[in-house]
Structure 1
Amino acid sequence: MAKRNEATKTQAVDAIQARIADLKALLNSYQNAGTNLAAAQAAVTSANQAVADASAKLAALKQQLGVDQTAVAAAQVAYDAAVANQAAAQAAQQTRLAQERALQEVENQAQGLKQTSSAVTLSKASNKQAPVKTTEQQLPQTGNDEGLLASALGMVLMALATAFGIQKRKED
């Protein structure tokens, strides 16, 4: 019986030692899990800080985007105003050119009237120098010079009125 007790004791001791080895492995696992937990908590803290930094950066970028959008809108308004000013300047230039053409036309017409008036005056002067003696009575020649002058003046005034009428119509 003593051998049997000893075998049972040996088995019990072996079982206890196996159980102790299992407990030591479990304790090692538990300690490793604690270390892993601490590392994971540090990683979570680091990730939380990265998220906070990214959120701050995102807020700053959103604010900058708002400022940039305001600057873009202001630049668009300035561009539109410049385009409108350019169109107005071109229209003013076209009006000025039309006025210059109308003025040149009036000057040309006035020059033509001067030449016509000179030719008529010369023609009358030559008619006066060579009076024809006739036996018939002639009616007195009154108002011929004044009529020609009035006609020439009327044509100049008509040309000026037409030129200024064209200018006013283009301005409207």
Structure 2
Amino acid sequence: MNLYLRYFDNETLVYNVEQALDFLASIPDIQVTPDMEDDIRAYAEGDVFYPKRYKVRPRVYFIIIKTEAETMLDFKQKKALRTNDVVQRKDTSVLMHLTEERDGWYEGTIDFKRVVFLPATGKHEYRDTHFVARCKSISGLDCYNRIIDYLRDHVDSRSQFPSAKGKNFSFRYLGMWK
């Protein structure tokens, strides 16, 4: 895995942590500390692929990005982008099952932020709420919509509901209605 580093107009693509530390040491504004060195090594060896940003002074940072690009040109042209095929397949799978039409009984489970009144303080607060309902529906999305419609009529309007595509909603098909 290679590392792209950038500090204002200074940028480089390096092939190991030692080269990255040498590049950072060559910039007068940046003082490479043992903690920073350990953090950069941990980032380079870790599984995280998000860009990492380090504070040089207030509101001034340099960034490090892991990349599979072999040259700076490849990096600039985004030829070595890391795509997460597993996540993409899972998202399409969830969408397919969500909209798949199959008449019958569904059990939908939703976790949402419910607004409740606290009599002791006279104020309102958000509480995590787990709600399970069984309903007649034609798809998982229809089940979600029926649950949300019910909850909108029965809880405070400031409550926050998750997306049907998110991890806070799940459903299962129970069978055909009679």
TM-score bracket, shorter-length normalisation: under 0.3
Larger radius of gyration: 1
TM-score, normalization by structure 1: 0.21
TM-score, normalization by structure 2: 0.20
| Larger fraction in strand | 2
| Larger fraction in helix | 1
